Chains A and B, each alone.
Chain A
């Protein structure tokens, strides 16, 4: 089966910033993304998990985008305006996609 190169950008960010990030991505022309819940973790701000929590302040979400390689710089520039000062992780991996016309 034919595959096509793509970039997979995973942004783990504070839940309170989710809507701001996805709005910024959409404004930058990245309209396809997936938001996944994150149940817990540990980092510079200490250990946390979502069990029993009622507020959104201590929660994180993962926003995952699969994009054409040429769109990567625009995405990162837009995303960084939102995530730069916040707790979180941004990572980029090479990926292969099946239906290139959808990206």
Chain B
């Protein structure tokens, strides 16, 4: 595990992220224009979705697909309750703030997923191609749980009309991820070969640039809003991924996923959203402090998962799944 961790730590992906954080903390003016950051994220979503679909076309679907999708959605639905209980135990946050953060932690970070997939490929660990679809299925259910908690525990919350649900379920990330997944599935290996020059060859380099940007944004957030992250909140940001990963490990093992699949299930359960859920929370729970949830998800949990979590999850999955 130590050699895996060292390899991960010294990978260009992680080092690019570290560079971004360091540059932001040192108050460098290094930054990416919003349009370029958005463009990089669109590229990564398209590429990862397409490759997942092409992998399914090559290896076929096994009966676990539906069960894994269901397990993912169930994890997303239940993890916010655990996160909420932990937050109320460790911090003095309001119900609305705790519920909003809980929604972030029930949902997933697609960037952590992409980084994990790439780091696994670097270790020659294969995972089920449909884990991309599982990632998409885990985006939204957590929002429902958080809103239910708020409805039960306080008068906060604006409620979610059909309009908001349409925005969440059809948000650009999900549409592109699932859309490219279907294209990859339909066109298979031939399709992948046709556009390999775009979606395979430059993938790692572009991921490095994207993580450099993520590092800058995370470092800048920590510098500007670090004061809201009290010790209890930080402890949650480091502890909740381990709780989520343990649930993911149990689910992945029961489902009989491969070592790579179990690792990705752990990564998905351990990561916290900072694209889809923050936007939904701003609409539904406007009283929640966005600096808190975004600071935690991007400033604490994302670096933890990227640097230490992924090698740890791979080691645990290898131990339990036994190198399937």
What CA separation (Å) do A69 and B245 show in the bound complex? Answer: 58
Q: B residues within 8 A CB of A63? A: none
Q: Could you tell me if A52 and B37 are in contact, using CB atoms closer than 8 angstroms?
A: yes
Q: B residues within 8 A CB of A14? A: 282, 286
Q: A residues within 8 A CB of B37? A: 51-54
A52 in contact with B289 given A16-B279, A57-B281, A58-B294 (CB within 8 Å): no
Q: Could you tell me if A55 and B274 are in contact, using CB atoms closer than 8 angstroms?
A: yes
- Partner-binding segment picked from B26-34, B63-71, B174-182, B250-258: B26-34
Q: A residues within 8 A CB of B324? A: none
Q: Could you tell me if A45 and B286 are in contact, using CB atoms closer than 8 angstroms?
A: no
Q: Could you tell me if A55 and B31 are in contact, using CB atoms closer than 8 angstroms?
A: no
Q: Is B290 an interface residue (CB 8 A)?
A: yes
A residues in contact (CB < 8 Å) with B: 14, 16-17, 20, 45-58, 85-87
Q: Is B11 an interface residue (CB 8 A)?
A: no
What CA separation (Å) do A1 and B125 show in the bound complex? Answer: 75
Q: Could you tell me if B290 and A45 are in contact, using CB atoms closer than 8 angstroms?
A: yes
Q: B residues within 8 A CB of A47? A: 224-225
A57 in contact with B216 given A14-B282, A47-B225, A50-B34 (CB within 8 Å): no
A85 in contact with B283 given A52-B32, A55-B275 (CB within 8 Å): no
What CA separation (Å) do A45 and B220 show in the bound complex? Answer: 15
What 0/1 readout, one digit per residue, does chain B (282-296) give for beta carbons within 8 Å of chain A?
110011011100100
- Nearest CB in chain A to that of B213: its residue: A52
CB distance from A54 to the nearest CB of B (A): 5
What CA separation (Å) do A49 and B158 show in the bound complex? Answer: 26
Among B207-260, those with CB < 8 Å from A are 213-214, 216-217, 220, 224-225, 228
Q: B residues within 8 A CB of A16? A: 279, 282-283
Q: A residues within 8 A CB of B214? A: 52
A-B residue pairs, 10 tightest by C-beta? A57-B278, A55-B275, A47-B224, A51-B31, A57-B279, A52-B32, A46-B225, A54-B41, A85-B286, A46-B291
Q: What are 23 A-B interface contacts by the 8 Å CB criterion?
A: A14-B286, A17-B282, A45-B289, A45-B291, A47-B225, A48-B224, A51-B216, A52-B32, A52-B33, A52-B37, A52-B214, A54-B37, A54-B38, A55-B275, A55-B276, A55-B279, A56-B279, A57-B279, A57-B282, A85-B286, A85-B287, A86-B286, A87-B290
- Nearest CB in chain A to that of B212: its residue: A52
What CA separation (Å) do A51 and B163 show in the bound complex? Answer: 28
What 0/1 readout, one digit per residue, does chain B (40-62) give for beta carbons within 8 Å of chain A?
01000000000000000000000
Q: Could you tell me if A51 and B34 are in contact, using CB atoms closer than 8 angstroms?
A: yes
CB distance from B31 to the nearest CB of A (A): 4
Q: A residues within 8 A CB of B294? A: 57-58
Q: Could you tell me if B224 and A54 are in contact, using CB atoms closer than 8 angstroms?
A: no
CB distance from B243 to the nearest CB of A (A): 24
- Nearest CB in chain B to that of A48: its residue: B224
CB distance from A81 to the nearest CB of B (A): 11
